[in-house]
Chain A
């Protein structure tokens, strides 16, 4: 398996624009997680899905952020409209189960909002 695949690796956009980050989890993994990492706040969980259903979105900062998982092999994290403070590295991770909680992370998307 190629692991968790995220795209794009880098995204530069202007304030107010819509940004869509994409993630393909490892096949057979029932859990998908979206994290954000900044110098100030470290690595934060934004939302996670189980079998394509959002379970906990308490980490989503505000209504400008939304995440979807239309099928088991694809998820998106959308920011609309984007703001400079959204600049961060966004990671997607997947896991077979929460019982073992072994999460496999993608390489991340580095987002810069100007």
Chain B
């Protein structure tokens, strides 16, 4: 059974915030939420990860609900170069990453 559920695709206008949701209702206490993205014809790229608290870095923000059953990746000002497949992964620290199908985000001019 899949650990995460993501929408297949989303669209966003350039310059606007892109909010990518992820459901992980069966997450356990020691599992982290990781986000990677894959731009067409490139290897996946790490974005951000978190356990309980919200996290922010130079690329994005990660908002995790208090019950940890869902999270949202926020790209504050999406650009055309952010068009990619975004993967939400739930995994124990120290375990191999398992990539699902992800969300195809298309940023439109």
Task: Please provide the chain B residues from 6 to 61 with a CB less than 8 Å away from any CB of chain A in the complex.
Answer: 32, 34, 36, 38, 42-46, 49
Taking a contact as CB atoms closer than 8 A, the residue among A42, A100, A101, A103 that contacts B100 in the complex is A42
Q: Is the CB of A101 within 8 A of B32?
A: yes
B41 to chain A: closest CB distance in Å?
A: 8
A100 to B97, CA, bound (A): 11
A91 to B38, CA, bound (A): 12
- Chain A's closest residue to B42 (CB) is A107
What chain A residues lie within 8 Å of B49 (beta carbons)? Answer: 100-102
Taking a contact as CB atoms closer than 8 A, the residue among B43, B44, B93 that contacts A98 in the complex is B93
Given contacts A42-B99, A42-B101, contact A98 B45 (CB under 8 A): no
Chain A interface size band reads 20 to 34
What chain A residues lie within 8 Å of B94 (beta carbons)? Answer: 98-99, 101
- Chain A's closest residue to B32 (CB) is A101
What chain A residues lie within 8 Å of B96 (beta carbons)? Answer: 33, 45, 48, 56, 98
Q: Is the CB of B101 within 8 A of A103?
A: no
Q: Is the CB of A102 within 8 A of B46?
A: yes
- Chain B's closest residue to A92 (CB) is B43
A17 to B44, CA, bound (A): 29
A6 to chain B: closest CB distance in Å?
A: 8
Is B98 close to A, CB under 8 A? Answer: yes
What chain B residues lie within 8 Å of A44 (beta carbons)? Answer: 99
**Chain B residues at the A interface, C-beta cutoff of 8 Å:** 32, 34, 36, 38, 42-46, 49, 91, 93-101
**Chain A residues at the B interface, C-beta cutoff of 8 Å:** 4, 33, 42-45, 48, 56, 91, 93, 98-108
Question: What are some 10 contacts across the A-B interface (CB < 8 A)?
Answer: A33-B96, A42-B99, A43-B38, A45-B97, A56-B96, A98-B95, A100-B49, A103-B36, A105-B43, A108-B43
